[in-house]
Structure formats: structure tokens, C-alpha cells
Structure 1
């Protein structure tokens, strides 16, 4: 083995040794997969088209709707809420057993969610002001800011459900599912106003969150549970798309009359049930894979940087796009996503997006798990070789 390869393996073995034996590594693998799925999905279906003066958002799904299966593979938010419900329920139960007050438990969890947000808001406030003062087109500024801050809606919903964990931890998933069903019936069947759909922002994501809570209580350990969710969710989603008029894409498409994601529709929720079922079925296989030091070290690193990756991946995309404009309109970056040629070139751009995200990670990682001060910076230095304390708090 080459010297760099041997050093990498030794480092991975140290991470593996630092991990408590009781940790369920499948949970971390699912969370890492969910985060990376969202990032890759956005990079594949989000385009910024330049006409020489402005940038506008577009999507290959507008021009090639038969690419909808791409959204099935990379719209993984339900898995994130499944893991979030599982972790929060177990964490709250452990805090109660240790005599930790609810207020302190919630404060610590929300601090880990929102401390990195300060860096995003600070940077984009500065960038927005600079663009407007230098005469940038308002439509361009609006497009960029909307994309940069779009991940924040997820955090608000996730934080609200986290705060409600003591109340919803024992809620049966069928209750929020019934809310989503009735809201959709009112909206699409009886002509109720669109604002009613906002109820599904909580109810829709509460379904996988409560499934995660049930998993934490040991109620979903049998493989039958996973198969029921996978088969039932798949069948229900197929029926809703084929016969009830729901969009096939599980992400929003610019210009479409109905989005499955904003707010979540019944089709998005049943699709999430299928994803949760698949996640539960993969647990044992993931646990076996995560026994390999290299695989586990990679998953641990993604989890330690999950918020940074999630919050800055759209900025990495836009930074690449803006920098590329200096060389003119580049295919796959500034051109209309209307053919397979665009898709092929966009795949070539993905490593550049990864590099731009790595730069954002290096600059803003200190805001995650410790804020932007000296303590946060010290964690950046050792992020490639987590300590036992770091790994325990992934």
C-alpha cells in the first residue's frame, strides 16, 4: 500500500476506535446519505440560465419531464426526518433519565442547528447589499438569494418538530398522514385556498418524524415493517401519480402548477413512506458496511459537517456559476437545460461544485458544533481525525 494510502487507513482506524461500541452506525449512514442525496439532487436539477444581463432559475425537468426518476433517487428529506425523529426521541429519553431539563436539551439541539445559519445570513446579507449597490439586476439578486436561503425552510420545520418531540414522540404516523390526506382533498378536490396547504409543512414531515420515534421505541425492528412501508408507499404513490393527477417529479419544477414539495402533497408523503421502508430494510446491511474503518470514517466526517454541507451547497453552485460567467456562457452551467447534452456536461461540472463546496467547508466549518470562535476553529483543524467526543456527538 502506498504511504498516503497507509496513512489514510491508519487515520480511519483511529476514527473507528474512537466510536463507542453501542453507537448504531446505520443511523449515521442514513443521515449522511440523506444529506448527500439532497445536495446532489439540487446540483442536478437546478440550473441558472444567463441571457447576458440576468440569471434565472430553470430545471431540466421542465424540458425533459421523463427525467422525473432522478428526483425519486435524490429527494431524500423523508429519510432525514426519519433519522431526526429517531435521534431526538432517543436523545430526549436519555436526557430525562439523566435528569437534564427539557429546556437545556432543546437549547443544545437547536444551537447545533442554527449556529451555522448565522454565517450564511451574514455572508448573503453582505452579498445582496453589494449586488444591489453595484447595479445588479433585481431579478438576478432575487434568484440568487432565494436559492441560497432555500435550505432554511427545512431547518425551521425540523426545529419545530424537535421542540415538539415530547408531545409527538408517541403520536401514531397515521394521524398526520390523515391531515395531509384531508388537506389535499380540500385543496385539489373542493377548491379550498392554496394557503391551506401550509398545514402540510408540519403534517407532511411529521409522518416520517413519528416513524423515527417509533423506531427509537423498538416498534419497527421487524423486517415486515420495512416491507409494508416500502410496498404500501410505492403502490400509493404510483396510484396517485397515475390516476389522481399528482406530478411525477418529487421536487418542485419551475412553472409547474403543482409542486409535490412546496408544500408536501399526499404523493410526497407516500413516497417518503416508501423511502423510510427501504431505509429500515437497509439497516443491517449498513451496519455491516460501517464496520469497515474507511467507510465509517467517511460517514463520520459527513455527519460532523452535515449542516455546513447542507447550508452551503447552493452557494457553491452559485459561486461556480458566477465565476464561470467571466469566461462567457458555458454549456451545462449557464445554458438552457433542454437536452441530454446539457445533462452530460452538468455531470462534468459536479467535481467543480464539490471543490467549491470544499472551499465553503474550509471557510465556514468552524460555525458548526461550536460557533465561529477559537473553539470552532480548533475543531476544523482536527475534523479529518475526530476524537471520541466528536464522534459521540455526531
Structure 2
């Protein structure tokens, strides 16, 4: 029975004692922190949409706590390991790759595809009406798809889970050390030798290394989190202080080097210290989550987290559009008047996000608890197309749909219509990769 058929209270009360509730809290907290960070960083004025961290560089140090996306990949690795192993045990030797991909991706791809379709229709309408060239409108059409990069990379983490789990079984910590060393080698080739395009490899090496830490947690092998946190923090500090890496752990407009896009060894060190830090809090958090009044909100938030992530920038842009539509003055970003409006804007964006979640949350609901085994190659091809399409769209934005505006994706030009087509085609392949035979799938 799907999530929509139950209340959060029902699901909370039915939670088995063996469930790791802290993982659910980390998933919600990491996405919630991203929402808050995006709302605060957007510096909207009559001249367009800027970045608060670029206007006030001293605030960039806050990204060492607020850039928490590595925690989401860490949690993903933990969940993917448990899910794949559970499915493989029940399948009794039958192929499970397609079933695993489809089950893990449905709650990710369905709300994402709906988001893309709704915004594409809106962007086309705006551009056909000749209103797509304004400073604010144009910036909004570029900005709204940027967070989709995370979904594209996460698709790769899901797709590579089975082979990476095999490496993990054989090598343990060595399976983490290998992509970490590869990330370091990529940065040497990039910064010391100037090899072109090699930096894009770190989209895989950095995020899959963090994902491997989730496998280690699933096996109880992160036994010294304080050492992990200290090593990661020391590494990040040394890399930023002595290397070519910027202070900010999120991308800054106009900077020559970003720790995020493509990711760098400094971001991997940052992710490592974050993993150690959250593991240090595991015991106290688990005690709190045993209380029903604490656990129920976490269950409720988990059921809508991806929908909220997809639509939170839409809500923020709507808040600023409402200010302009009502003739209210937009103060210059980072001024006292701007800061005074922050609480009101955050409350309004939260409320509007809640409205959008109420409209679109149905697409995030899980399936009926059964999945068909199906064609692994078809599911893998579909996932690859989705990955490339969603990453491409995050780079092109939705401006210039009619003019064929393009961006470079892994050394190749891609347009928004092509990216949308790849994402839709890939999603259909994933959905239709099933066969007539069925196996049970839970979780």
C-alpha cells in the first residue's frame, strides 16, 4: 500500500524497531538545509538575481556547515546497499538490477519529470509572449533548473550501486580510497598539467566516494567518526589554504575555480568531515528519534522531501514576483533593509512551498510494494539518458528554448529541448524495462 494511503502517524507507529531512524533524519535535514541555503543566497534586485555570498564574501565560510549535500549522498549509499541486498536475497538468484533501478528511481524521476514538464510549458508560454528576455525573467529561467544537477548525479550513484557494492565487499575502505585517489589525480591533471575536460571526471569520483562511505556505514565499519571528521576537516583546510581551491564550498558566479562544478578534492575532504561529524551525533539523535513526537514529523517530511526540493526555488521566485507585482520596493541585497525582510520572505517561501507540495506530492508517492525484474540493459540505458538529460537541463536552463541556446555537457554541446527529450525518453525506458515476471520488493 502506498504512502498516500497512510497518515504520517500511521507510518510512524508502524516503524519496525530495526529501522535506522537517524538516516531518515539526515535525509530530511540535508535537503532542508539546501532549501534554506538557496533561499538565503538568492540576492534579487531590479538588476537581476545575484548571489549573497558573492556580495558578502565573509559569509562564504558558512558553506563549510551549510553545504550539506554530501550527507545526502552518504545516506543514499547506506539506503541503496540495504535495499539492493534485501532484494537480491528475496530474488533467489534471479536478476534484480532492473527492479532495483526502477524501485529506487520512481520516487525520484516521477516528481522530477513532472517538474520539468510544468516549467517547460511555462517557459514556452513566456517566451512565445515575448517576455523571456527581461533581466529577472531570464535569470529565473536559468536559475530554476540549476539544482537538478544533484538529481542527475544521484541517478549515477543508484545505477552504479551493484558493481560498487561488489568492490566494497572485496576491498572495504579500499573501495572508498580508490575513487578518492582518482579525484586527487584528476585535480593534479587539471591544475598542475592543464589537461582539458579531465575535471568532469570528478563528478563521478567525488560523489561516488562519498556514496561509498554509506556502504561502510551499512556494514558498521565507520568505527572512529572523530578521526574521520578530523582528517577530513584538516584536509579541507590545507587544500583551501595552500592549493588552488576557493573558500566557498558552493559555486560562486564568475569564479575561475569552483569546488562544486566540477567538484574538487577539497569538496571530498569537506564531505568526509561532514560524514564524521554527523556520525558523532548518531547516539544522541537516535535517543530523540525514539520519541513519537519527534519521529512523526521526520516521517511526514520524508514523504515530501523531494517534491519540496524541486519546487522550493519556484516558491522563492514567486515571493519576489509578488513583491514586484504589488509595487513593493526591493531593497539592495545585503543592506539592512534587505536583511530586515529576510524573515518575512522565508515565511512566505515556506508557505508557498507547502502549497506546491500539496499539489504535486502525489507524484512522489511510492509504488504498491511490488516490482518486476525486467531488462537490466534497458533500465541502465534509460537511467543514463535521464542522467545526461537532467544534467544538461541544469546547465542550459529553460531560457532560449526557441533559439536553441546550448551549454557544454562533458565537452559536448546540448540544448534544453535535447536535454528534455533525453530525460523523457530515459524515464520511459526505465518505466518500461519490466517483464511479465514479478518479484516482491519492499522498502
Q: What's the TM-score once normalised by structure 2's chain length?
A: 0.76
Secondary structure in 2 matching 1:270: helix
Secondary structure in 2 matching 1:328: coil
Aligned to 1:22: 18
Secondary structure in 2 matching 1:173: helix
1:207 matched to 2:202? The reply is no
User: Matches of 1:135 and 1:13 in 2, distance apart?
Assistant: 48
Q: How far off is 1:264 after superposition?
A: 0.8
Q: Tell me the alpha carbon deviations over residues 98-131 of structure 1, each in whole angstroms, 9 at most, x when there is no partner.
A: 1172211211111121010122112111110111
Matches within 5 A, 1:1-394: 14-51=10-47, 56-99=48-91, 101-138=96-133, 140-169=136-165, 170-171=167-168, 172-193=175-196, 195-220=197-222, 222=223, 224=224, 226-328=225-327, 330-331=329-330, 335-339=331-335, 341-370=337-366, 393=443
154-163 vs 343-352, which moves further:
343-352
User: Matches of 2:107 and 2:296 in 1, distance apart?
Assistant: 21
User: Matches of 1:196 and 1:274 in 2, distance apart?
Assistant: 25
Q: CA RMSD of the aligned region, Å?
A: 1.9
Distance 1:49 1:196, change over 3 A: farther
Distance 1:341 1:196, change over 3 A: farther
Secondary structure in 2 matching 1:149: coil
Note the residue ranges of structure 2 that are not aligned, 5 or more in a row. 1-6, 169-174, 368-441
- Does the 8 A contact of 1:64 with 1:339 survive in 2? no
User: Matches of 1:346 and 1:184 in 2, distance apart?
Assistant: 38
User: Matches of 1:326 and 1:214 in 2, distance apart?
Assistant: 51
User: Matches of 2:119 and 2:127 in 1, distance apart?
Assistant: 12
Q: Tell me the alpha carbon deviations over residues 232-265 of structure 1, each in whole angstroms, 9 at most, x when there is no partner.
A: 1111111111121311111111122221111111
Q: How far off is 1:337 after superposition?
A: 2.2
User: Matches of 2:202 and 2:155 in 1, distance apart?
Assistant: 16
Q: Tell me the alpha carbon deviations over residues 310-333 of structure 1, each in whole angstroms, 9 at most, x when there is no partner.
A: 1111111111122221123534xx
- Does the 8 A contact of 1:89 with 1:216 survive in 2? yes
User: Matches of 2:75 and 2:107 in 1, distance apart?
Assistant: 16
User: Matches of 1:288 and 1:245 in 2, distance apart?
Assistant: 42
Note the residue ranges of structure 1 that are not aligned, 5 or more in a row. 1-10, 372-391
User: Matches of 1:289 and 1:197 in 2, distance apart?
Assistant: 42
- Does the 8 A contact of 2:44 with 2:333 survive in 1? no
- Does the 8 A contact of 1:26 with 1:283 survive in 2? yes
Q: How far off is 1:37 after superposition?
A: 0.9
Distance 1:368 1:287, change over 3 A: same
Aligned residues: 352
- Does the 8 A contact of 1:41 with 1:70 survive in 2? no
